[in-house]
A and B are shown apart, each in its own frame.
Chain A
Amino acid sequence: MNKRFKETSRRGAIGWFLQRITAVIVFILLMIHYVTYHFLSKGKAPSYDQIIAKTATWWFPLVQFVLLFAGLWHGLYGTWVILEDYVHNKYWRLVLYTLLVTGGAALLFLGTLTIIKVASLKIS
């Protein structure tokens, strides 16, 4: 890592660094997500009851939220990095940036709502 990165582009450097941090978080949690939800469900796709049963511990919804937040951050920041390469008009950039932020906020809201509601459910 360039030791003088603070002098060159602080904002870009922080974004770049957070992209690596969230990548590692998403990598670990997504592998766990896949194994626990999809690969250990005994020859069938997971059912409603199996999913609700998993959320019984206090830490499970928390881990879900960390995965949701880190995944959205990583994905939307990544999209922004790609857009910055091809969109040079500052008004278009503002429009697209606003769309990404509002879309991200809406998805975070919907995802968090699902996690909270599911955590408060009982097995039928």
Chain B
Amino acid sequence: MYRKTRFYDWNYYHFVGSWAWILHRLSGLALIFYLSLHIWVINTLTHGPEAFNRTMEYLNTWPFKLLEIGLWGVILYHAFNGIRVVLVDFGKGSLAHKRLFIGAIAIAFILLVIGGVIIASHIVWRMP
């Protein structure tokens, strides 16, 4: 019926494509988990300004903001590797998928630094 698959086949060649694939899966799972939390937290907007600002005051402390920079990094990895996947599937990306991966990571890294600095400037330096 189905062939048993392990989470990661260690006999497989550890090349760029296989690592890009497994990181894409892991980052995707992290993002759907975050999206669920985000929908739940943003619902506090409907409880009025006090409730929302109190929640945000808590979430603007440094541990959460550092996590937020990490989240931005995970989003950028998934987004730019995703663009690479679309180019491989629809365009002629498969001819240059390793170079595309390096390009995607480079753009993601630059945007991570820019966005990271902006998010870091929003940190409220106190304990949550």
- A18 sits at the interface (CB 8 A): no
Contact in complex: A45, B60 (CB < 8 Å) = yes
Contacts of B76-113 to chain A: CB distance below 8 A: 79, 82-83, 85-86, 89-90
Known interface pairs A86-B7, A88-B4. Does A110 touch B40 (Cβ–Cβ under 8 Å)? yes
B63 within 8 A of A: no
Q: Chain B interface secondary structure, helix, strand, loop or mixed?
A: helix
Residues of B within 8 A of A30 (CB): 75, 79
Interface assignment of A34: CB less than 8 Å from any CB of chain B = yes
Chain A stretch 59-76: residues in CB contact (< 8 A) with chain B: 68, 71-72, 75-76
Check B45–A82 contact: CB distance below 8 A: no
Sample of 20 further A-B pairs with CB below 8 A, known A20-B90, A38-B122, A82-B29:
A23-B86, A24-B86, A27-B79, A27-B83, A38-B115, A45-B122, A48-B49, A48-B52, A48-B53, A75-B32, A79-B28, A79-B29, A82-B25, A86-B7, A107-B36, A110-B39, A111-B39, A111-B42, A114-B46, A121-B45
CB of A95 within 8 Å of the partner chain: no
Asked if B79 and A44 sit within 8 Å, CB to CB, the answer is no
Q: Number of residues in B with C-beta < 8 Å to the partner?
A: 38
B118 within 8 A of A: yes
Residues in A lying within 8 Å of B, measured CB to CB: 1, 20, 23-24, 27, 30-31, 34, 38-39, 41, 43-45, 47-49, 51-52, 68, 71-72, 75-76, 78-79, 82, 85-86, 88, 103, 107, 110-111, 113-114, 117-118, 121, 124
Q: Tell me whether A34 and B115 are in contact in the complex, defined as CB-CB below 8 angstroms, given that A20-B89, A75-B28, A124-B49 are known contacts.
A: yes
Q: Report the Cα distance A78→B119, complex, angstroms.
A: 28
Q: What secondary structure prevails in chain A residues at the interface with B? A: helix
CB-defined contacts of B60 to chain A, threshold 8 Å:
45
Supposing A78-B28, A79-B32 touch, asked if A51 and B86 sit within 8 A by C-beta, the answer is no
B119 interface neighbour in A38, A85, A111, Cβ under 8 Å:
A38
By beta carbon, the residue of chain A nearest B34 is A75
Residue on A nearest B75 in the bound complex, by CB: A30
A68 CA / B83 CA spacing, docked (Å):
20
Q: Which residues of A contact B43 (CB under 8 A)?
A: 110, 113-114
CB-CB under 8 A from A38, the residues of chain B are 115, 118-119, 122
A118 touches B86 (CB 8 A): no
